[in-house]
Amino acid sequence: METITLPVKGMTCMGCVSSVKRVLGAIPGVGSAEVSLEKAHAEVSYDPGKTGADALRAAITDAGYDVD
């Protein structure tokens, strides 16, 4: 498992946090996703053999948030 921290812009409430956590958790190969409203980031542990940073970024973007 690898861990990546992605800055997430556009989250304004705990509902946003739940949405980001849900879309990340639905990606095959993601072991865990911790999302912080205060720090405006998502810390994701994933299996690099099943997914990668581009897929994680795409899922967040598709959910309506910006990733740097």
Domain limits at 53? 6-67
* Rounded-to-integer distance, Cα 45 and Cα 62, Å: 20
Tell me the average pLDDT across 3-18: 97
Q: What is the pTM of this model?
A: 0.92
The per-residue pLDDT for range 25-62, each reduced to its tens digit, is 999 999 999 999 999 999 999 999 999 999 999 999 99
For residue 61, the model assigns a pLDDT of 97
Q: How many domains does the chain have?
A: 1
Identify the residue whose tokens are 């967040």: 60
Q: H or E element: which one contains 22?
A: helix 14-25
Count CB neighbours of 20 within 10 A.
Answer: 27
For residue 68, the model assigns a pLDDT of 81
For residue 61, the number of C-alpha atoms closer than 13 Å in the C-beta half-sphere is 8
- CATH of residue 50's domain is 3.30.70.100
